Amino acid sequence: MLRRRARRSGRLLASGTAMLTVVGMLAGCNGTFEEAPAAADQAKKAQVARYDGQMSRGIDFVYTARKELSLTFNGMADPETMDRLLDQLDASGIKATFFLPGMRVAEEPDIAKAIAARGHEIESNTLNRLDMSKLSYEQVYNEIKLSNDVIQKKTGITPTYVRTKSGDYTDDVRLAAAQLGMKGVVSYNINPKDRQMQSAAEIGKYVERFIMRGGIINLDTDVNPQVIDAIPYIAKAASNIGYKLIPLHELIENGGERKPLEEIPGWDAAKINPDFSHAAYKLYYRKDGAPTNRIALTFDDWGTDKTVTKILDILAAEDVKATFFLRAKGTESNPNLARAMIEGGHDVANHSYSHPVVTEISPDKLQADIVKAHQVITEAIQQQPTMLFRPPTGVVDDTTAKAIAAAGYPDIAMYEVTTLDWDAAHSADDIVKGVMKQTTGGSVILLHMLDDIHTIEALPTAIGLLKKKGFVFVKMADLIGLTR
């Protein structure tokens, strides 16, 4: 019955009746239709001018290297469903953030009060979750304002963030939010699409796959009841890699704001340069003449948070600093992971954007790819990366090496030790034996941070055995004496 009422509210709003109900309630007439029209007429006379100040912040994820993310919910289901959801969150030790529609709070304020009483955050899901892209600025403003007013009146909580039903937002939404003094318009970057997924396990596996630092998970309270049973899966996925699920306010407060690319020193250190025929370059496979015990551990490509975080945790436990050559297309979708490498004391360098075989594309396309990768990585880590380029697959010739150098990367990072660990057919034991057999003083060791291979299993053993042989791990730039 409550769902039928919610749908009926949407039809009433379209005709203006539901708006009268809310305005009447806010006017102090307890929602009765007899007194609402006068208050509504008064509200209509107050024209809302389009805000010309700075737009409110748009938040799809939070920029942070901390092992934290937030679980958020849209809508407000019936009392029984909400009680079950809140019980499950309590059992899993999670404090979440609920974006509630103002109309549903007006209908059943006790549910909203219960959410707050359990220690969760309440924010605005707009008044009745309309498609904001089809509304005028004044309508957008009123949809947000009336929702905020209802939530404040019924719960005593004033929302500081707003989310539309779809999570999409326009400039009008950001402007209206700013005009109302709100801190931001929130979307999400982890969306299991619970309207389509049938089982709790399926929802949980999706979150596990895309979990990331600073992530904002989006679920609905009133679409798929399996969402409730998915909560333990989500909690376990976070716990398995040492991540905490925290309320959105805390996540945002702990995070930072990224500078625009052009404000970061060194963002233009890589440039397209068609005049490369005489460019000088140097290939580094190892460092000859290095102290006999110094070696460099390097990782190529990209992986999920689950994989890369385990690598970072192993390196931290072993007090080893490494060099990560990033496939920038992956970095673009998860800049926080790249920043975590920097904050862990490691170097980050360029491994192209799209991972082409560099000898199989034209020099101009190669340079464009390198420059794009440089800019993506720079913006992700908020500083200039280490100016080393490693060609994908390790294939390079004189022409491509000159094109790479002319684009801003004259120091080309090759490697001496490789175990083909990117092939899942190679076991952890195979990887360890390969590393130990090939490594000498001055060696550059190549490993990969791909999912579903055995590098993570091999890494602690390989590091331990190399240390026993007296080897000291340094970053590749330091091994080869690269001037930073």
Are 431 and 465 in contact by the 8 Å Cβ rule? The answer is no
pLDDT at 477 over 90: yes
Alpha helices in 289-395, H assignment, sequence order: 305-318, 328-333, 335-343, 363-381
Count of residues in the chain:
484
Residue 46 phi/psi, 5-degree rounding, is -85, 95
Give whole-number Cα distances, 39 to 65, 126, 136, 424, 426, in Å.
49, 20, 21, 69, 73
How confident is the model at residue 2, as a pLDDT? 34
Q: Which token pair is 163?
A: 């989310």
Q: Which token pair is 321?
A: 């600093």
Helices 455-468 + 428-438 axis angle, to 10:
30
Are 388 and 408 in contact by the 8 Å Cβ rule? The answer is no
Are 188 and 220 in contact by the 8 Å Cβ rule? The answer is no
Are 128 and 107 in contact by the 8 Å Cβ rule? The answer is no
Q: Which of 33, 9, 8, 4 is nearest to 21 (CA)?
A: 33
First to last CA, the chain: 67
Domain boundaries 267-480, CATH class: alpha beta
Residue-wise DSSP of 186-242: E--SB---TTT--SHHHHHHHHHHH--TT-EEEEESSS-THHHHHHHHHHHHHHHTT
How confident is the model at residue 61, as a pLDDT? 97
How confident is the model at residue 13, as a pLDDT? 43
Q: What is the pLDDT of residues 191-224, one digit of tens each?
A: 998 887 779 999 999 999 999 999 999 999 999 9
**Per-residue pLDDT band at 27 (split at 50, 70, 90):** low
How confident is the model at residue 46, as a pLDDT? 63
Q: Which residue has the higher pLDDT, 22 or 143?
A: 143
Residue 271 phi/psi, 5-degree rounding, is -140, 150
**Per-residue pLDDT band at 11 (split at 50, 70, 90):** very low
Q: What is the pLDDT of residues 346-366, one digit of tens each?
A: 999 999 999 999 999 999 999
In this prediction, residues 139-167 reach a mean pLDDT of 97
d(CA 374, CA 387): 9
**Per-residue pLDDT band at 445 (split at 50, 70, 90):** very high
Q: What is the pLDDT of residues 49-76, one digit of tens each?
A: 999 999 999 999 999 999 999 999 999 9
Q: Are strands 444-448 and 294-301 parallel, antiparallel or unpaired?
A: parallel
Q: Which of 113, 361, 63, 324 is nearest to 369 (CA)?
A: 361
Burial of 54: CB neighbours in 10 Å, binned 0-12, 13-18, 19+? exposed
Are 410 and 282 in contact by the 8 Å Cβ rule? The answer is yes
Q: What is the pLDDT of residues 33-51, one digit of tens each?
A: 344 444 445 555 568 899 9
Are 333 and 305 in contact by the 8 Å Cβ rule? The answer is no
In this prediction, residues 391-408 reach a mean pLDDT of 97
- Residue range(s) occupied by CATH 3.20.20.370 in the chain: 51-254, 267-480
d(CA 393, CA 371): 19
Give whole-number Cα distances, 258 to 255, 373, 382, in Å.
10, 17, 7
d(CA 265, CA 281): 24
pTM of the model: 0.89
Q: Which of 180, 146, 159, 141 is nearest to 56 (CA)?
A: 180
d(CA 319, CA 215): 27
How confident is the model at residue 37, as a pLDDT? 47
Percent of the chain with pLDDT over 90: 87
> The CATH number of 51-254 is which of 3.20.20.370, 3.60.21.10, 3.40.50.720, 3.90.870.10?
3.20.20.370
Q: Which of 347, 340, 344, 346 is nearest to 66 (CA)?
A: 340
How confident is the model at residue 310, as a pLDDT? 97
How confident is the model at residue 195, as a pLDDT? 80
